[in-house]
Amino acid sequence: MLKIKLTNNEGEYAQGQSRLPATERSFLQSYGYGQMQARLGNEPMYLLAEEEDGTIRASFLAILFKARRGRYFFLPYAVITAEIWPLLLDFLRAMASTLKVDFIRISPLLDDSASNKKFFTENGFRDAPVHMMHPEILWVLDLSKTEKVLLKEMRKNTRHAIKQATLGGLEIVSGNSPELLEEFYRLHSETARRQHFVPYPREYLNAQLETFGRADQLKVYLARHEGKYIAGAVIMFYGHEGVYHHGASLAEYAKIPASHLIQWEAIREAQRRGLAHYNFWGIVENAPRHPWAGLSFFKQGFGGQSRRLLHCQDLPLTKKYWFNYAVETVRRIKRGY
């Protein structure tokens, strides 16, 4: 008989994650991501699905967030099967009652299908009012091909941009030192001001570097032109994939295809590590006026295909959830989503 229990044993948790198909392992469900959230003041809970004989069948990361508008558990990119789901949900409900949690939120790493949606609605979940907690349309590149084939399958302009950047004297610097992250943060902040989005806090990026950098699962990439850093990216290397998690660039150097060369170098690194996919993270489709339209066009130029995930799901537990629902709905509308 299966049971759900808490653990702080990294080895046990890793066993559960290893039971997932390689293509379904996200750094957002890693033990390290929980430790990163703890550094930011949130409370990770590591959950195991275990047989009576001690065999670990699965593991899940749930994070307790304590916001003014409500306390909630969040499971980012969780993969939940029909067999384990009832046990996990009962366990989370019990924990929520003890910890005075107002709702449970899940961004499932499940395809957007009627059957997967039914899986949640039958258990009282509803679409979250947020535009997204994490990307829900991913752009993914298959890395089983040779470099020659990857280049051939790119958009012609993208391929030309990489060649132009290679011949143009750009220098790509990569590593996981605090100094490189500081340079990236400067570029990231400038990009946020220009494109009118809220940048990741310095504390978030520092915690990400401290957690994943020491395991060589994170690299900062910077492009330097005539001694000045003009573009950058933070790339995760975890499980089966490389992930383009953060990006930045200076507007005055827009004609220099620095970001193209950064992405190409990160793709090549993912191949050298034997990873199956390069995940460009979120895109939008058929939305030419969306703030991400240009970035999506850039990512799609490298070749690949989209994967649509089920929208973030909420399970209301107390009346306070509806206050949170109203606040997040207003924010979403103001941002034009």
Give yes or no for residue 268 having a pLDDT over 70. yes
Residues 114 and 185 in one domain: no
Residues 157 and 251 in one domain: yes
Residues 89 and 185 in one domain: no
Contact call for residues 268 and 177 (beta carbons, < 8 A): no
Give yes or no for residue 233 having a pLDDT over 70. yes
Residue with tokens 């107002």, as numbered in its chain:
102
- Measured CA to CA, the distance from residue 128 to residue 56 in angstroms comes to 31
Residues 148 and 55 in one domain: no
Residue 211's pLDDT is: 96
Res. 328 pLDDT band, cuts 50 70 90:
confident
- Measured CA to CA, the distance from residue 283 to residue 106 in angstroms comes to 20
Residue 65's pLDDT is: 97
How large a percentage of the chain has pLDDT more than 90?
82
Pairing of strands 241-249, 277-282: parallel
Pairing of strands 70-78, 103-108: parallel
- Mean of pLDDT over the chain: 93
- Measured CA to CA, the distance from residue 213 to residue 235 in angstroms comes to 10
Contact call for residues 153 and 162 (beta carbons, < 8 A): no
Task: Note the pTM of the prediction, 2 decimals.
Answer: 0.93
Give yes or no for residue 327 having a pLDDT over 90. no
Amino acid at 98: T
**Which domain range does residue 206 map to?**
137-308
CA 293 to chain centre: 19
* Mean pLDDT score, 278-298: 90
Give yes or no for residue 144 having a pLDDT over 70. yes
Residues 173 and 277 in one domain: yes
Give yes or no for residue 271 having a pLDDT over 80. yes
Residues 257 and 127 in one domain: no
Residues 21 and 122 in one domain: yes
- Measured CA to CA, the distance from residue 155 to residue 290 in angstroms comes to 21
- Measured CA to CA, the distance from residue 107 to residue 309 in angstroms comes to 9
Which contacts qualify for 187-195: CB closer than 8 Å, 24 or more apart? 187/222, 187/229, 187/230, 187/231, 187/232, 187/248, 187/249, 187/250, 188/232, 188/246, 188/248, 190/248, 190/250, 190/251, 191/247, 191/248, 191/249, 191/250, 194/251, 195/291
Phi, psi torsion values for 269, nearest 5 degrees: -65, -40
Residues 151 and 298 in one domain: yes
Residues 254 and 287 in one domain: yes
How many beta carbons lie within 10 A of that of residue 198, not counting itself? 7
* Mean pLDDT score, 66-76: 93
Contact call for residues 240 and 30 (beta carbons, < 8 A): no
Report the number of distinct structural domains present in the chain: 2
Residues 108 and 180 in one domain: no
- Measured CA to CA, the distance from residue 33 to residue 272 in angstroms comes to 24
- DSSP symbols for 143-201: -SS-HHHHHHTS-HHHHHHHHHHHHTT-EEEEE--HHHHHHHHHHHHHHHHHHT-PPPP
Res. 62 pLDDT band, cuts 50 70 90:
very high
Give yes or no for residue 336 having a pLDDT over 70. no
Res. 196 pLDDT band, cuts 50 70 90:
confident
Residues 72 and 189 in one domain: no
Res. 287 pLDDT band, cuts 50 70 90:
confident
Residues 145 and 286 in one domain: yes
Task: Say which CATH number the domain at 281 has.
Answer: 3.40.630.30
Closest to 63 in 3D by CA, of 94, 28, 13: 28
Worst-scoring range by mean pLDDT, 134-138, 173-177, 317-321, 329-333?
A: 329-333
